Each structure stands twice: as C-alpha cells, then as structure tokens.
Amino acid sequence: MSDSPRFLDIKRLYHAAVELPPPERAAFLDQACANDQALRLEVESLLQRKWNLCCNTTGPATATFSITRP
Amino acid sequence: MAAPTPESREEITRLLEAWGKGDKAALDALIPVVHRELRRLGRRYMQRERTNAVLQTTELVNEVYIKLLDCSRVRWQDRAHFFAVAAQLMRRVLVDLARSRRYAKRGGEAIRVTFEKVLDMPDVHAPDWVALDDALKTLEALDGRTSQMVELRFFGGLSVEEIAEILQVSPQTVHRDWRFAKTWLRRELTRGQEV
C-alpha cells in the first residue's frame, strides 16, 4: 500500500484548518500553501460548509441500505 | 448451507482464536465460510423483502457472527478482528448484489440497492454501492488507512475504539480521519450533482 504524499498533505492541512475559526482559515492557508495554488484550492474545496454540516464522529456509522422495487 | 452445528461453531471459533495468535492459514480457512454465510444472508433478504426494505450492514454482520461462532468464548480482540474481516466481505457481497441487480431487469422490475444515511446528509443523493465502492478504491490508492477505516465503520459497524485497536492508532486519529473521510466522500460522490 503506497499512499500519496500529496493526499496526506491535503488531509493534514484540512485537519489543521478545520479546527480554526472560519475567518482565520484564509490567512492560515496563505501561509501553508504559499507556493502551491492547486493544493490550496483542494483544501479550500474540502472546507466548504456544505461538506462539513454534520460532524458527529462518535455516533454509530453503520451503512444502511435499502432495497427498492419500483 | 445447513445451519451450523455446535461442532462447526466450535471449529470456526477455534479458527478465529488461532488467527488472533498469528496463524495466517486459519484466516484463509475462515474467509470462505464467512463470505458464504454473508452472501447467503444477503440473498435471502433480497428475496424475502416484498416491498421496500431498509437494512443495516451491522445487522447482517452480527447475525453471521452469532450464527457462526460460540460468542461466549471469543475474546474482544478476536471479535474485533472477525468484524474487520466480515466488513471487507460485506462490502464485496453488497457490491456484487448491487452490480448483478443493476443490469438484471426482469419483467421491467429493477431492484435498486442504494445506501442511505451513511453520510448523514439528507441533501446528498444516495449513490449506490457501486459508486461508493469506486470512491473507496480511489481513496485506497491515496490513503490506505483512511479507506480501511471507512470500510470498518460502514460495513462492519465497528466502534472508534475497536478501529483504533485494529489499525494500531489512537482513537483521536480515528475521529479525525473519519471526519476527513466523510467530507471527502461527500464531495466525491456528489461530483456532477448540484447540492
């Protein structure tokens, strides 16, 4: 299993930025991705509110599946 | 397959114990038994449900666990490892079922196997298992540990503590990676959809 260092950077920056109050994220990313605009765009895309609405990480997370007969 | 006898249950419990002690051959013997039982159970649900049905992967995995093993004898570490294997197999079983139903239309009646609630977002269209499986394969190539964690949680219903034990990381790491994985998957599975 060989992980992508790039992806692990994205994950690390996401973790760091998501812990910050939203107004402080831009400045953090300015510094962390100074020379890498693509990296910044990727992290910013993940930080969008619509992907982060429900952040309950403790509850049960079992997949529920449905069988539908039209 | 006939219902497991007390003898076969004892044998399967012994295999799990042996694997917990590092016996790789025991795992090789265990996998087909668990796979067969999960597949059989999955098919039975598909056939039995006349109308729409909502099922949980954990229920299926648990049912197989209780059926195949002498639960009173299993150590909790071994139990977690059983669920880890079962989660992997559950994923395969569901994807196979979804694939076979996707194209098999009989009398104009298609059976859709979609997953629900999994991403806790009511406005994300429920993609099917095949889409989730594809996204997990992408994730696996990028970050194997996070992909495995999703598998253990979605398909095996394992707790954060159990996953931490299996992956040999802290529960905090599991929480953080889980949050990231959900965010990433939500984005990935809604590509091309207006949310």
Q: What is the ipTM of this complex?
A: 0.82
- The residue-averaged pLDDT of A35-50 equals 91
**B46 contacts on A by Cβ (under 8 Å):** 67
Q: What integer pLDDT is reported at residue B42 of this predicted model?
A: 79
Q: What integer pLDDT is reported at residue B91 of this predicted model?
A: 86
* Closest residue to A15, CB basis, from B109, B113, B180: B180
CA distance A35 to chain B (A): 22
Q: What integer pLDDT is reported at residue A61 of this predicted model?
A: 58
- The residue-averaged pLDDT of B165-170 equals 91
**B118 contacts on A by Cβ (under 8 Å):** 61, 63-64
- The residue-averaged pLDDT of A53-59 equals 55
Whether chain B has a CB inside 8 Å of the CB on A5: the answer is: no
Predicted confidence band of residue B105 (pLDDT cuts 50, 70, 90): very low
Whether chain B has a CB inside 8 Å of the CB on A69: the answer is: yes
pLDDT digits (tens, 9 = 90+) for B7-32: 888 999 999 999 989 899 999 999 99
Nearest to B150 by CA among B127, B125, B181: B181
Q: Does residue A18 contact residue A44 with C-beta atoms inside 8 Å?
A: no
* Closest residue to A8, CB basis, from B141, B143, B183: B143
Whether chain B has a CB inside 8 Å of the CB on A14: the answer is: yes
Q: What integer pLDDT is reported at residue B49 of this predicted model?
A: 60
Provide the percentage of residues in chain B whose pLDDT is more than 90: 26
Whether chain A has a CB inside 8 Å of the CB on B187: the answer is: yes
Residue B104 has pLDDT above 60, yes or no: no
Residue B123 has pLDDT above 60, yes or no: no
Q: What integer pLDDT is reported at residue B129 of this predicted model?
A: 72
* Closest residue to B187, CB basis, from A7, A51, A56: A51
Q: What integer pLDDT is reported at residue A48 of this predicted model?
A: 87
Nearest to A17 by CA among A42, A53, A50: A42
Residue B1 has pLDDT above 70, yes or no: no
Q: What integer pLDDT is reported at residue B58 of this predicted model?
A: 78
Predicted confidence band of residue B109 (pLDDT cuts 50, 70, 90): very low
Residue B107 has pLDDT above 50, yes or no: no
Q: What integer pLDDT is reported at residue B110 of this predicted model?
A: 44
Residue B108 has pLDDT above 50, yes or no: no
Interface test with A, best of B91, B142, B159, B191 (most A CBs within 10 A): B142
- Cβ burial, residue B120 (10 Å; 0-12/13-18/19+): middle
Q: Which residue of B has its CA nearest to A43?
A: B184
- Contact flag B177-A11 (C-beta cutoff 8 Å): yes
- Please report the sign of the dihedral spanned by the C-alpha atoms of residue B32, residue B33, residue B36, residue B37: negative
Provide the percentage of residues in chain B whose pLDDT is more than 70: 76
Whether chain A has a CB inside 8 Å of the CB on B100: the answer is: no
Residue A20 has pLDDT above 90, yes or no: yes
Q: At what angle do helices B144-154 and B129-142 cross, to 10 degrees?
A: 150
